[in-house]
Amino acid sequence: MARLGEKQLAQVRNQQIGFVFQQFFLLSKMDAVQNVELPLIYAGVPATQRRKLAEEYLSKVELTDRIHHLPSELSGGQKQRVAIARALVNDPSIILADEPTGALDTKTGSQIMELLVELNEEGKTIIMVTHEPEIAAYAKRQIVIRDGVISSDSARLEGKEN
């Protein structure tokens, strides 16, 4: 990675890594489906295929009824789900998620975590930051950082215990 040029690094970020940001970073003049299509545009995916994929991923986060709404017309939880769909649409092998359920109600947060667990079971690597113990419980491995120092590192064979 250290030897890759800027263009190559951008390509790796676009095609191999999905980012879920705490602040969403949705483009205000683009509706939900257009925001999800954005990484596909950079990847050179044809328009009809882009639209189909974007709608499919918005369906996975249960937003089919809001695909043509602008970010200003969406709740915080809906914006977060658009951001999650955008992070997943390129089928990345690594997903970096900063508080992916922070703006969601409990039920929707659980649904998103189940989706992330499913993706992990399919072979995707999920690296997530959370302050919520209930959300951290879904992880197969938890690394706790306090005051900038790793205070614990635990792994278990299965995800969330029932």
Residue reference for tokens 């120092």 = 149
- The answer as to whether 32 is a domain residue is yes
User: What pLDDT is attached to residue 12?
Assistant: 82
- Is residue 44 situated within a structural domain? yes
Per-residue pLDDT tens digits for 131-150: 999 999 999 999 999 999 99
Residue 58 lies in a domain: yes
Please give the pLDDT value at position 73.
98
List, in sequence order, every residue forming a beta bridge with 18; answer none if it has no partner. 95
Residues of the chain with pLDDT under 50: 159, 162
pTM of the model: 0.83
SS3 content of the chain, % helix, strand, coil (to 5): 45, 15, 35
- Does the residue 137 lie in any domain? no
CA distance 85 to 62: 10
Number of domains in the chain: 1
In a domain, 160, yes or no: no
CATH number of the domain at 125, please: 3.40.50.300
How much is the pLDDT for 159? Answer: 47
- Domain residue limits at 11: 6-130
Within a domain: 126:
yes
